[in-house]
Amino acid sequence: MKHWRNPTLLAAALTLLAGCTTNPYTGEREAGKAGIYGGVGAVTGAVIGAATSSKKDRAKGALIGAAVGGAAGGGYGYYVDTQEAKLRQTLQGTGVQVQRNGDELKLIMPGNITFASNSADVSSGFYPTLNSLVLVFKEFDKNGIDIVGHTDSTGSLALNQDLSNRRAQSVAAYLSGNGVAPARISAYGAGPNQPIASNANEAGRAQNRRVEINLRPL
């Protein structure tokens, strides 16, 4: 631990860890996203910089590593911040939920607004929402797009598995058919195997009938 006694190095790392950014869409100060990404990157970069430098240049190497690592980490965190804000703005009032977990974003599209009952054909009323997503996905093109279909437990497992897969494939086909790079997209059905609510009542089953789009770093 003696390599971390340099007060300048500690100050730089702690400053980056405590850093806050302003979301350009919401105007809020956010310390828990890009600031954390930058801080983690800074500490990682500092460790690598110190380890790869000669003894006399170890502090200097750590500071350079902290700066480079902080910029890289904070850059992706800020990218996700802006993408999340754009999605929330674009999808407001559509019924599609936006959830964030670390550096991954999830869009939850309820089955009642995406597909007719027992159908894998996208509802015509949902096309405007998908068109908006196409524009966002083209603007923010550093994400993989994992599309997962889900059903409730009513009916046979084989039927639900097939329906969920065809629904996921329908959304994927629409996105790729409108200019989103197919290499970014994967699609599969989970059937009734990943419920988010109880299948014992209609309200829960309605929540389980959904399509999710998971956005992850490429």
E-assigned strand segments in the chain: 21-22, 29-30, 97-101, 104-110, 143-150, 185-189, 210-217
Alpha-carbon span 205 to 208, nearest angstrom: 5
Backbone angles phi, psi at 178, to 5 degrees: -110, 20
CATH code: domain of residue 149: 3.30.1330.60
Q: Confidence band (pLDDT; 50, 70, 90) for 77?
A: confident
Do 120 and 204 lie in one domain? The reply is: yes
Structure tokens at 188: 């599969």
Are both 213 and 193 inside the same structural domain?
Answer: yes
Same domain? 46 vs 128: no
Residue 199, phi then psi, degrees to nearest 5: -90, 10
Token reading at 125: 């009323």
Report the percentage of the chain scoring pLDDT > 70: 65
Which residue, of 38, 53, 87, is where some domain finishes? 87
101 and 196 in a single domain? The answer is: yes
Q: What pLDDT shows up at residue 104?
A: 92
Same domain, 82 and 116: no
pLDDT at 18 > cutoff 60 = no
Instruction: Report whether pLDDT(49) > 60.
Output: no
Instruction: Please say if the pLDDT value at position 29 is more than 80.
Output: no
* Amino acid 31: pLDDT: 44
In this structure, which amino acid lies at residue 157? L
Query: For residues 23 and 135, what is the distance between their CA atoms, to the nearest angstrom?
Result: 20
149-189 tens-digit pLDDT: 999 999 999 999 999 999 999 999 999 999 999 999 999 99
**Model confidence pLDDT, tens digit, residues 52-70:** 555 666 665 555 555 555 4
Name the domain boundary from 29, 60, 87.
87
Can you give the pLDDT at residue 195? Answer: 97
Q: Spell out the long-range contacts of 176-184 with Cβ–Cβ below 8 A and sequence spacing 24 or more.
A: 178/130, 178/131, 178/134, 179/134, 179/138, 180/134, 180/137, 180/138, 180/145, 181/141, 184/137, 184/141, 184/143, 184/144, 184/145, 184/218
Same domain? 145 vs 128:
yes
pTM of the model: 0.69
Query: Domain span at residue 26?
Result: 2-87
Looking at residue 50, its pLDDT comes to 53
Number of domains in the chain: 2
Residues 68, 12 share a domain: yes
First to last CA, the chain: 35
| Cβ pair 22, 34 in contact under 8 A | no
Higher pLDDT, 50 or 57: 57
Whether 138 and 53 map to the same domain: the answer is: no
- pLDDT category at 13 given cuts 50, 70, 90 is very low
